[in-house]
A and B are shown apart, each in its own frame.
Chain A
């Protein structure tokens, strides 16, 4: 009897210990039976500047299977409904069984709503199968792929840095999807459910008391004008290059095209992996965002900046005249320019050779020494204030900064010494100067505003309709510190380019509009790039545009100028009346075919092998290397 009682007491003590004193078992029981199921918020939508939808979430269905529950399946019927072959069926079932007999696994991913409709009515007949709703990104107009970007599964490295993300989560990989990831993604919630020993769900825990609802992502209101974007993409359909248009008064990007482009829907659906590979392998590099990442030599459009800096430095006057001395640098045939305005209008190379010489080899009033280093230092700083050579703080990822050489750069390259004659190619936008199209568009806006710009951006606001927010950096004006009177000279020059005889850009003319512009012909590895920057109207400008047409076998006036004209007409007038012109440039395919063959030209004295550090990722930046300055420019 004593033994009975003793054992009873021992057991009671043991129970007291494991049940009341030690609470690790309670925790272990929770870990067994509670599953925290993530509730995914819906990702924010993206609208254009007029409230039209650019990106929305489309409902698709994942067909799930629980292998153990599959019974009496009419395989033929099932396969025909799901649209798969019998072999596929066997393969998918094997895979699911291997994963788990009890837990659900994916049988067929992302079945469209249309395809699912026929399946939905009959799915009850197939025991063990059920559909699970999810959303993918969808693009009604199939435009603006490089602006919007795409989403994809988050990488392991990112998960390690940001534990918010879990394996299998989707994250913005490029474009606005990436730069506004935090706004778009919303906040994940969680639901606590009970599971049994086979991992089957058994309902919610304590009536959802511990559930945290997901918070939907914020909508983005883009600055893009959907109509203009569509139009610009159409214009660039058979071409390589870019078009960037900005509203000068706000810095809002109206259209943003990198050609060739692709249908953003390709990177959203089931075939994403295959499509991505195809795009990545394309020699024309559709995934390469030229408007942000292509570093081109600016060519003659850079002359406007040269003129402004020189005027502001006080090294030339507005009436300065230089002869067109083709002995210094090649030029086309035109009368000698007698003023800065004419120099811009006729795009005289020797004129700007002299201008740059004055800027760099100026007599320093303080030291009395002729000092290229001193001059270049002032020049570099002035150029950077205009947005060149510095990365633009735009709300898109992967922007490149272009290149404005400084004294350190040349000291490094020419340890034995250098002077103006070493670096004169920069005078006409060749040599070591590199710009990206967004910088040129911004420069056009800077001229349009006569001295200031707001950093270009692609989002006007985010959040709901009533409480839109915008980053304050996109409200601030940046001043170039160049006196306002000099801007008018530049504007007049650019007006003359389009409107006066002898101007190089008259094809940009839009009847009834005072378009100002500047042509450029950027030399590079293949045929010249055709470049044009412009804004309109001259007074109170509404739009500033930069157009690059790669390897166009023609100057800036031939291809880029008329395209810029059509963009301006479309935006300012709302529609293009010159349908014949429109048709001609839409159908034209001027670009030299790929791969490019190096054009052999004699390398002249004074050419610098441009830096190669940034060139590997793009063929365009390669184009900057090695080409001699001083040949023709319009």
Chain B
């Protein structure tokens, strides 16, 4: 036992742990600044959010330590169990969860509540890794693809039913893993084209867009046809038809399926609508907070936007405002650097794993963390629509912090054991 734990410590990727500690510390500091209102009280004051977060952080350290001590095989062996437990929790939430900000995602236990959807991401990553790491798995088989997608879509659907669109979208990040594990790159290209078409469909009259696609498609066909006769006309026609269906489908979905507040958020983002009091209020105030930070920032506890509560949700989803305002451009790019470095490091670590399970799991969590970073920060600086998901390790909230800690340290533990025989 003693010898083993020493080897674990020796093999732990300390740089990642330091990045984790850094992010958690920055998170607490900025939660303190966001809640701070000039009246000092103890940093452990449980009635304040920074006091609570301190408790969550200490608990997270305990969880991290616990995960490091456990045998790494435990997670791969119990991954289905964890997955199933999470699915059951998600279903329980649907029945008896409490509603916060329109989403029914909280499971109350006494005075505190937990958010099963936060843990579901980790459980899905484990389950997906388990499925894809099984012997004789071939991603080119439709059956495998369907099982893999099923593992992801099941919890995603349940989260969507909770009306928590943001968390549900996070499951899209598993596309990265599937891509790594042999999913055709066409899927990614198709996805990118679909997103482009989606945005264009909202900006331009759909019928004009369909016409433009047809013209571009035909011109492309004739150019290619002259050079290389192998391009078949029927494929181009099919492509044009599919694009047109997407465009018209988006138009329909946008007007008929999306709810009005979601439409408003998207319209504000695309600049079709100026609304600084309603749907655009958050983003506008958030941009003001970050933009007013300047190069060096206003200094710790000096942010007026932050201190005087101009930005709603500034200790949770909009925590980056506080960083941007009080620590400026310098602080912001340091934070971006740490996130990007962390995600890149996780990918690199994943690549050095001998076990497929660990590699796939590593890819999954790198994708999840990056997706959170990408969507959350994009939202606060006005590049993406408002989608309520937390910034990993920084945002206030026990469930989110614990889930991310657990998720990260499982991988660190797997990585530390990479030298052991599988």
Binding site for B on A (CB under 8 A): 1, 4-5, 7-8, 10-12, 14-16, 18-20, 22-26, 28-30, 32-34, 194-198, 202-203
A8-B337 Cα distance, complex, nearest whole Å: 7
B336 within 8 Å of A by Cβ? yes
A195-B333 in contact (CB<8A): no
Interface: B291 (CB within 8 A): yes
Given known A19-B291, A26-B294, A194-B304, contact A4–B343 (CB-CB < 8 A): yes
| Residue from B293, B348, B370 in contact with A19 in the complex, judged by beta carbons closer than 8 Å | B293
Inter-chain contacts of B310 with A (CB < 8 A): 32-33, 196-197
Q: A29-B305, A33-B310 are in contact. Are A19 and B340 (CB under 8 A)?
A: no
Decide: A15 near B329, CB < 8 A? Known: A4-B344, A4-B370, A196-B308: yes
Tell me which residues across on chain B come within 8 A of A33, comparing CB atoms. Answer: 304-305, 308, 310
Task: List residues of chain B with CB within 8 A of the CB of A29.
Answer: 288-289, 291-292, 304-305, 325
Mask, B308-330, CB within 8 Å of A = 1, is: 11100000000000001100110
**Are A11 and B381 in contact, CB atoms less than 8 angstroms apart?**
yes
- The verdict on B69 contacting chain A, using a C-beta distance below 8 Å, is no
CB <8 Å contact, A14 and B288: no
Nearest 5 A/B pairs, CB to CB: A25-B291, A196-B308, A29-B292, A33-B304, A8-B340
The answer for the CA separation of A336 and B408 in the assembled complex, in Å, is 127
Collect the chain B residues with CB atoms within 8 Å of residue A7's CB: 340, 370, 374
Closest partner residue, chain B, to A27 (CB atom): B292
Determine how close the nearest CB of chain B comes to the CB of A33; give it in whole angstroms.
Answer: 4
CB <8 Å contact, B324 and A19: yes
Residue pair A11, B336 in contact (C-beta under 8 Å): yes
Question: Complex Cα distance A341/B332, Å?
Answer: 100
Query: CA separation between A10 and B329, bound complex, in Å?
Result: 14
Contact of A14 among B305, B307, B344, B383 (CB under 8 A): B383
Known: A8-B340, A15-B381, A197-B309. 10 other contacts (CB 8 A): A12-B332, A12-B333, A14-B383, A15-B332, A15-B333, A25-B292, A29-B288, A33-B305, A197-B308, A202-B37
Query: Which residues of A sit under 8 angstroms from B336, Cβ to Cβ?
Result: 8, 11-12, 15
Complex contacts, B381 vs chain A, CB 8 Å: 11, 14-15, 18
- Given the interface contacts A15-B332, A20-B329, A194-B304, does A4 sit within 8 Å of B292 by beta carbon? no
Which residues of A have CB within 8 Å of B309? Answer: 196-198
Q: Which of A11, A14, A20, A195 has the most CB of B within 10 A?
A: A11
Give 30 CB contacts A-B under 8 Å: A1-B347, A4-B340, A5-B344, A8-B339, A8-B340, A10-B383, A12-B332, A15-B290, A18-B287, A18-B381, A18-B382, A19-B295, A19-B324, A19-B332, A20-B295, A22-B291, A24-B291, A26-B292, A26-B294, A29-B305, A29-B325, A30-B292, A32-B285, A32-B310, A33-B305, A194-B304, A196-B310, A202-B37, A202-B308, A203-B38
| C-alpha gap A22/B290 in the complex (Å) | 11
Separation in Å of the A205 CB from the closest CB of chain B? Answer: 9
- Given contacts A11-B378, A29-B288, A16 and B308 within 8 Å (CB-CB): no
Q: Find out whether the CB atom of B304 lies under 8 angstroms from the CB atom of A32.
A: yes
Closest to B292 in A: A29
Identify which of B38, B287, B304, B381 gathers the most chain A CB atoms within 10 Å of its CB: B304
CA distance A202 to B39 in the complex (A): 11
Chain B nearest CB, measured from A129 CB (Å):
21
Residues of A within 8 A of B343 (CB): 4
A28 and chain B: residue at smallest CB distance: B288
Interface hub of B307, B310, B324 (most chain A Cβ within 10 A): B310
Chain A residue contacts of B152, Cβ below 8 A: none
Chain B residues closer than 8 Å to A25, beta-carbon distance: 287-288, 290-292
Shortest distance from the beta carbon of A593 to any chain B beta carbon, whole Å: 64
Interface string of B170-207 (1 = CB under 8 A from A): 00000000000000000000000000000000000000
Q: How far is the CA of A20 from the CA of B292 in the complex (A)?
A: 9
Closest chain B residue to A7, Cβ basis: B374
Interface of A is mostly: helix
Complex formed: what's the CA distance from A26 to B293 in Å?
7
Residues of chain A contacted by B344 (CB below 8 angstroms): 1, 4-5
Q: Could you tell me the distance in whole angstroms from the C-beta of B337 to the nearest C-beta in chain A?
A: 7
Shortest Cβ gap from A16 to chain B (Å): 6
Which residues of the other chain, B, contact A23 by a CB distance below 8 angstroms?
Answer: 294
- Interface residues in B318-372 by Cβ distance below 8 A to A read 324-325, 328-329, 332-333, 336-337, 339-340, 343-344, 347-348, 370
Known: A5-B340, A8-B340. A18 touches B290 (CB 8 A): yes
- Check B377 for interface membership: any CB of A closer than 8 A: yes
Give bound CA distance, A24 to B288, whole Å: 8
Contact B305 A202 (CB under 8 A): no
Would you give the 0/1 interface string for B34-46, flagging 1 where the beta carbon is closer than 8 Å to chain A? 0001100000000
Q: B333 CB to closest chain A CB, in angstroms? A: 5
Docked complex Cα distance between A14 and B290 (Å): 11
CB distance from A17 to the nearest CB of B (A): 9
Judge whether A19 and B294 touch: CB under 8 Å. yes
A20 touches B333 (CB 8 A): no
| A202 and B302 alpha carbons, distance in the complex (Å) | 12
Q: Please pick, from B287, B328, B377, the residue contacting A11 in the complex, using a CB distance under 8 A.
A: B377
**A16: B residues at CB distance < 8 A:** 329
* B308 surroundings in chain A (CB, below 8 A): 32-33, 194-197, 202
Q: With a CB–CB cut-off of 8 A, which chain A residues contact B295?
A: 19-20
Q: How far is the CB of A6 from chain B (nearest CB, A)?
A: 10
The verdict on A32 contacting B329 (CB below 8 Å), with A4-B343, A8-B340, A19-B295 known, is no
Distance between B20 CB and nearest chain A CB, rounded to angstroms = 17
Minimum distance in angstroms from A116 CB to a CB of chain B: 30
Complex CA–CA separation, A10 to B295 (angstroms): 17
Q: Which residues of B contact A203 (CB under 8 A)?
A: 38
Nearest-Cβ distance from residue B179 to partner chain A, whole angstroms: 10
A7 CB to nearest B CB, Å: 6
Choose one: B38, B291, B382; the contact of A26 (CB below 8 Å): B291
A12–B341 alpha-carbon span in the complex (Å):
14
User: What is the minimal beta-carbon distance from B95 to any residue of chain A, in angstroms?
Assistant: 37
Cβ–Cβ < 8 Å partners of A11 in chain B: 336, 377-378, 381, 383
A205, closest chain B residue (CB): B304
Q: Which residue of B lies closest to A26 (CB)?
A: B292
CA distance A11 to B290 in the complex (A): 12
State the CA gap A203–B305 with chains docked (Å).
15
- Which residues of B, 373-408, contact A by the 8 Å Cβ criterion? 374, 377-378, 381-383
A1 contact set on B, CB distance < 8 A? 344, 347-348
Residues from chain A with a CB closer than 8 A to the CB of B305 are 29, 32-33
CB-CB under 8 A from A197, the residues of chain B are 308-310
Identify A202's interface contact among B307, B333, B378, CB under 8 A: B307
- Contacting residues, chain B, for A26 (C-beta < 8 A): 291-292, 294
Q: Which residues of A contact B38 (CB under 8 A)?
A: 202-203
A4 to B342, CA, bound (A): 10
Closest CB-CB distance, A581 to chain B, in whole Å? 73
With both chains docked as a complex, state the minimum distance between the C-beta of A476 and any C-beta of chain B, in angstroms: 58
B401: shortest Cβ distance to chain A, in Å?
22
From residue B26, how far is it (CB to closest CB) to chain A in Å? 16
